[in-house]
Amino acid sequence: MWTAIVSTVLLLFTGAFFTVASAETVTVIVTDAAGNAVTDAVVAFYDGKTPPSNPNATGRIVQKNKMFNPKITVVQTGTNINFPNEDSFRHHVYSFSPTKKFELKLYSGVPTNPVQFDQAGLVTLGCNIHDSMLGYIYIVDTPFFAKTDDKGRALLKLGEGQYTYQVWLPGVNKPGAEQKVKIEGSTEVKVTIP
């Protein structure tokens, strides 16, 4: 019996090792038309095989200093997000976006239930009490996503194969057209946003 258990553990460990070892680093570099790095652009890759939804995924968008933190959140379809209020006054979080309409009426602390984002698309967040508060949630049908850093770079680990990808930036209503890329070893993808 112990031999079977040890063999199973070794098999699982070896399988996990080879899965991680076969992942390639994909570097996406996003710039504007003038060649300047674009920060907080959302990058999503699709392989057509991976389940689009993950109902076990969780996230948090904190309200502090009358701001949503992070201002831009990207999650996989099915993710449950909680909205803790760390300010000393109450907020009223809402979205009238077609992707997800909801309201968290005036509250302090942490709401009892998280909000599930079960449809891909863009959600714009606001607060009925503080008009200057603005946030975005971009929901994608893939687990392969990232945001660009202050150098306009996003790093992802992907297996080799054919993918399509999209890039979205706040203030742009729709993501850019899907592009195709073949991942073979470490790959660099350059995107220019007009």
**Segments forming the whole domain that contains residue 72:** 52-141
Shared domain for 58 and 136, answered yes or no, is yes
Instruction: Grade residue 70 by pLDDT with cuts at 50, 70 and 90.
Output: very high
SS3 state at 14: helix
Q: Is the predicted pLDDT of residue 138 greater than 70, yes or no? A: yes
Q: What average pLDDT does this structure show over 108-135? A: 93
SS3 state at 15: helix
CATH number at residue 99: 2.60.40.420
SS3 state at 108: coil
Q: Is the predicted pLDDT of residue 54 greater than 80, yes or no? A: yes
| Residues 136, 28 contacting (CB under 8 angstroms) | no
Name the H helices within the chain. 2-21
Q: What average pLDDT does this structure show over 59-76? A: 96
Compute the distance between CA of residue 104 and CA of residue 92 in angstroms, rounded to an integer.
Answer: 6
In total, how many domains does the chain have? 2
CATH number at residue 8: 2.60.40.10
First to last CA, the chain: 63
Q: DSSP states of 18-31 as a string?
A: HHHHT-EEEEEEEE
Q: Tell me what pLDDT residue 153 has.
A: 98
- The closest alpha carbon to 133, from 91, 98, 170, belongs to 91
Query: What pTM does this model have?
Result: 0.83
Q: Tell me what pLDDT residue 173 has.
A: 55
Helix, strand and coil percent figures for the chain, each rounded to 5: 10, 50, 40
The whole-chain average pLDDT of the chain stands at 87
Q: Is the predicted pLDDT of residue 5 greater than 90, yes or no? A: no
Check residue 132 and report its DSSP letter: T
Calculate what percentage of the chain has a pLDDT beyond 70. Answer: 86
Q: Is the predicted pLDDT of residue 21 greater than 90, yes or no? A: no
Calculate what percentage of the chain has a pLDDT beyond 90. Answer: 75
